[in-house]
Amino acid sequence: MSSRIALTQTVQKGGCAAKVAASELRHILQNVKFPPAHPELLVDGGLFDDAAIYKVSDEIALVQTLDFFTPIVDTPMLFGEIAAANALSDVYAMGGKPKTALGILAFPLATLPADVIVDVMQGASNKIAESGANFVGGHSIDDDTLKFGLSVTGFVHPERIWSNAKAQPGDHLILTKPLGTGTLTASLKRQVSSEDDIMEALLSMAMINNAVDYLSAEHIANVHSATDITGFGFSGHSMQLANASGVTLKINAAKLPRFSTAMSFLEKGYLTKAHRTNAQYTEALVDTTSLDEMSRLLLHDPQTSGGLLLCVPAQLSADIVQALRKKFKAAEIVGEVLSRQDKAVIFAD
């Protein structure tokens, strides 16, 4: 067991809230000249999808992703579990299954004892094993602050890819995990709550998004589109999916699952910079005019290891939710897909 050190107090920002703001990231990437895509590259970063897909054969495509961040919790092993679950999620969001994982580690040797990173890596190893993948190595540097994550490779059938660009009008939208990790972990960072106080959210973040393991072959084949909800919030990731697919999402905000104390913590002002940048990122294409201020904040709340947003045929949505609830107890139908309108996402109370 590692020494008792509050990891959140060693960094300025934690988890996916530490992401570069989406608007700034888009501006940066527009100024980078990327090499021409190979014919076998089925999904790249052009539509801000969750992972890249490279076709190897008619039966196998590689799913490749990378994710790392600073501590979002105080307990090292729990941080490792959440970091791994978050990185693995990108493969699951594409309909794939993880096969190998490489660790990415920045560690302050001068200020943290080695047993901290032992626990971080053990937590990650436990989640990688749970996914059925192998922890095959990685790279480390001596740095001022702790950062950890994974580069994950998985497999998916080339005709069973859950990209963010294939939502169809008439689809129902399913969200698999509650919202609110940003505000709850902000309270932990401010030391106004303990890990025990927000354990509901911590357990959710540590839960891997292996929806494919709970769905039938028919269900898997009929997931038209998907994304996972992370640092850009429900508003940002749903907008990206709508834009990539050329559709509009109509969301019933009252149906969105949320952690039991999420709204009260938002009301107390436990916010991150990402609450503001996510609102700015989505304001032109996301209609939240029917919602109150706290509901808007929840939509912009930066999730870490959040749930999957799935677009499925309406006639199968109830069956798919029932199957998902064997593991994802909060899974809920939260809206529908419409033909493209002026806004990418419309929220109704």
pLDDT tens digit at each of 349 positions of the chain = 555 788 988 877 665 566 677 778 878 888 888 888 899 999 998 888 999 999 999 999 999 999 999 999 999 999 999 999 999 999 999 999 999 999 999 999 999 999 999 999 999 999 999 999 999 999 999 999 999 999 999 999 999 999 999 999 999 999 999 999 999 999 999 999 999 999 999 999 999 999 999 999 999 999 999 999 999 999 999 999 999 999 999 999 999 999 999 999 999 999 999 999 999 999 999 999 999 999 999 999 999 999 999 999 999 999 999 999 999 999 999 999 999 999 999 999 8
Report the run of H or E that residue 98 belongs to, with start and end.
strand 97-107
Question: In 53-144, where does DSSP find H-type helix?
Answer: 76-93, 114-131
For residue 293, give every residue at least 6 positions away whose Cβ sits within 8 Å of its Cβ, in sequence order, or none: none
Domains of the chain by residue range: 7-156, 172-348
The C-alpha torsion from 13 through 15 and 20 to 21, rounded to 10°, is -90
According to DSSP, the residues that pair with 141 across neighbouring strands are 106
Residues found in the chain:
349
Task: Return the CATH fold of 7-156.
Answer: 60s Ribosomal Protein L30; Chain: A; (3.30.1330)
DSSP for 140-187, please give it: EEE-SS-EEEEEEEEEE-TTS---TT---TT-EEEE-S-B-HHHHHHH
Alpha-carbon distance of 70 to 146, in angstroms, equals 6
Domain 172-348 in CATH: superfamily? Answer: PurM-like C-terminal domain (3.90.650.10)
In CATH terms, are 7-156 and 172-348 the same topology? no
Residues annotated as catalytic (active site), given as ranges: 16
- pTM of this structure: 0.94
